[in-house]
Structure 1
Amino acid sequence: MTVAVLVPHDVPTVLNYYVPDPESDEPPHIYIIDAPAGKKRDNIGREPHDVVIHDARGKEKEYDLSLDTSGFQFVKHVSQEKEFDDDERVKNVYYKEVEELLKKETGAKRVFVFDHTLRRTEPDFVSPEGKVIRGPAEAVHVDQTYEASVARVHRHLGDEAERLLKGRVRIINVWRPIHNPVAHRPLTVSDWRTVDKEHDLVPVRFIFPDQRLAGVYSVRYNANHKWYYLSDQTPDEVTLIKCYDSEVDRARFTPHTAFLDKTSPKDAPYRESIELRCLVFDTE
């Protein structure tokens, strides 16, 4: 057995990968609202596997990490928004910042932010204002299947979709810590070049009441996967996570998940983060 050699901030941990649900013979799915009577919300099994998360800080060039090579990129970006506690301000101020950031980093001509999610380390809970705050996603996944990505363009851009789909289309998740450097449950991303595209991806259908086409890829374990994170990632550092690319000769996505870092100080603040998912077009 080969023992991984750790550098100072590399972290041994456990990640949850996909396994079939032995109680279900249906294709993998998740009911987004309410499951029918007598059915479970999903039929996705999880299997923990030991991995090492490599610290990319200061080694981005050495590891050749970028959106088009590995499927993700770490970028310094200072936002005017600090609290992210007002949805209207997030949409009116932060969305515009992210649009400009993605144009600068990718050369895109047009960016459409289609949603954002706030997360905390604790499990999902309801705030005093009645808003559900989601916890970190703790299973390896890709945010969109290829088919669901194309459907996103049709859903949000309507009559412009066919024209835009003739050019390059990407979906990029822009992930940022809030308030403090990340200690508990950091984000880790896997290098596209280490993913077996034929074996590792498991399409999972999202079932909505309106039957829209939506879904993610769950991911099977593969010992070749190489995982990275940015140690002590601050609110002025964002992770760009590629979820889809219509171009086939470069990285098209990156699996990702939160992970447990047992080396984090126990008294460090809980993780808070915001992610924006964006359609990125090379044409106007």
Structure 2
Amino acid sequence: MATITHDALEDQQRQAPALIRYLAPGDFVTRRYVRAGAEINTGEYRDYEAVVRDGMPIRDHFAFDTHGFMIGKGASAVEDFWNRDEVNEKYHAEAAQIIRNLTGADRVATQGWMIRTSADLSTRAQEKTENYQHAGGIQPPAGEAHVDYNTLTGQKAAARMHEQHFGSRDGYRRFCCVSLWRTFSPGPQDWPLAVCDGRSVADSEGVSNTLFVVDEFPVGDALTAPVEGEDQMIAAYIFRQNPAHRWWYFSNMSRDDVLLFKFHDSDHACTWRCPHTAFHDTSLPGVQIRASIELRAVAYWD
């Protein structure tokens, strides 16, 4: 973990009051179940009062390897992000080029994308879905502080994606698993994305949260019943409340603004991950229902 020094410029920025949801104290079986239109966690979570600083007035201040996130520009030729075929046709190549431009990576392999919206998805969530795939769909905003990959998941993703896209499971000096995030609804958004300065998060923080993609949610004891090999499955990191965490967001993001943040960087000499979560912004008038698209990718350096 890098050290945050006092930064007067950052301290002067507008603060939005927020509730950040964290894993509560205690021992839990921690899992995340996702199905069409809905996601649930096992364990107990609590909302903690926090402030989220608005980084938009100083947007050029943030550096990818210092804060774990950055905001940049990235125009898209996609006319309708609700059109799955158009997104699949156009967005992967666009996103890869944007990530290369922002990071200086030698190669980028894109993975799946997801639309997230604060609109009512209750009807969609009640639908029975056969063989649900957790990509290219529509889900609610993520509601707790998390990083999508734990260390093992990031390492496996980097090797797998390099083999799929470039023919070998190695051949890179450094990798970084990232998310490229943009809104395509009018601002200000009612549930924007908050990102945490990675320097304010200790390397020892984080509890693995195993991902289960299902057609229907289990109930009762089945939610936490033992699963063989769970420690090798895809998992995120979730976090417990820490007053040292330093949260930011970018108000009124436009369609051409892109927020790039880290899931896992193999180079731990720099800031190597970025917890993030949606939060309800009550600080601005006239907020709009959020609609955003996130795309996962892995950047590689020779």
Match of 2:294 among 261, 275, 280: 275
Identify if the C-alpha distance between structure 1 residues 123 and 143 changes in structure 2 by more than 3 Å, giving closer, same or farther. Answer: farther
CA contact (8 A) 1:188 1:229 kept: yes
Q: Which residue of 1 aligns with 2:50?
A: 51
One-letter amino acid matched to 1:220 = R
Q: Which residue of 2 aligns with 1:77?
A: 74
One-letter amino acid matched to 2:256 = D
Deviation of residue 208 (structure 1)?
5.7
Which structure shows the higher helix fraction? 2
CA contact (8 A) 1:195 1:225 kept: yes
Q: Which residue of 1 aligns with 2:219?
A: none
TM-score (norm 2): 0.78
Secondary structure of 2:299 counterpart: strand
CA distance in 2, matches of 1:136, 1:150: 26
CA distance in 2, matches of 1:148, 1:79: 29
Q: Given the alignment of the two structures, is residue 213 of structure 1 paired with residue 233 of structure 2, yes or no?
A: yes
Deviation of residue 231 (structure 1)?
1.4
Deviation of residue 275 (structure 1)?
0.5
Aligned length: 264
Matches within 5 A, 1:1-284: 9-19=14-24, 24=28, 26=29, 28-32=30-34, 42-60=41-59, 64-125=61-122, 126=124, 133-158=138-163, 160-164=167-171, 166-198=172-204, 200-207=205-212, 213-266=233-286, 268-283=287-302
Q: Could you give the per-residue CA deviations for residues 175-229 of structure 1, whole angstroms, max 9, x where no partner exists?
A: 000131242001110001111221x311112246897720000011110111111
CA contact (8 A) 1:141 1:217 kept: yes
CA distance in 2, matches of 1:44, 1:194: 24
CA distance in 1, matches of 2:90, 2:113: 13
CA contact (8 A) 1:69 1:251 kept: yes
Deviation of residue 20 (structure 1)?
5.0
Q: Could you give the per-residue CA deviations for residues 262-283 of structure 1, whole angstroms, max 9, x where no partner exists?
A: 13335x4311000000011114
Deviation of residue 85 (structure 1)?
2.0
Secondary structure of 2:80 counterpart: coil
CA contact (8 A) 1:138 1:257 kept: yes
Unaligned runs of 5+ in 1: 34-40
Identify if the C-alpha distance between structure 1 residues 45 and 168 changes in structure 2 by more than 3 Å, giving closer, same or farther. Answer: same
Two-structure CA RMSD over aligned residues (Å): 2.8
Secondary structure of 2:161 counterpart: helix
Identify if the C-alpha distance between structure 1 residues 21 and 87 changes in structure 2 by more than 3 Å, giving closer, same or farther. Answer: farther
Secondary structure of 2:64 counterpart: coil
CA distance in 1, matches of 2:250, 2:262: 16
Secondary structure of 1:53 counterpart: strand
CA contact (8 A) 2:207 2:237 kept: yes
TM-score (norm 1): 0.83
Secondary structure of 1:44 counterpart: coil
Identify if the C-alpha distance between structure 1 residues 150 and 161 changes in structure 2 by more than 3 Å, giving closer, same or farther. Answer: farther
Q: Could you give the per-residue CA deviations for residues 49-91 of structure 1, whole angstroms, max 9, x where no partner exists?
A: 1111101122245xx5211000000102221113212222212
Between 1:229-238 and 1:8-17, the stretch displaced more is 8-17
Secondary structure of 2:23 counterpart: strand
CA distance in 1, matches of 2:235, 2:193: 21
Deviation of residue 123 (structure 1)?
4.7
Q: Which residue of 2 aligns with 1:36?
A: none
CA contact (8 A) 2:108 2:298 kept: yes
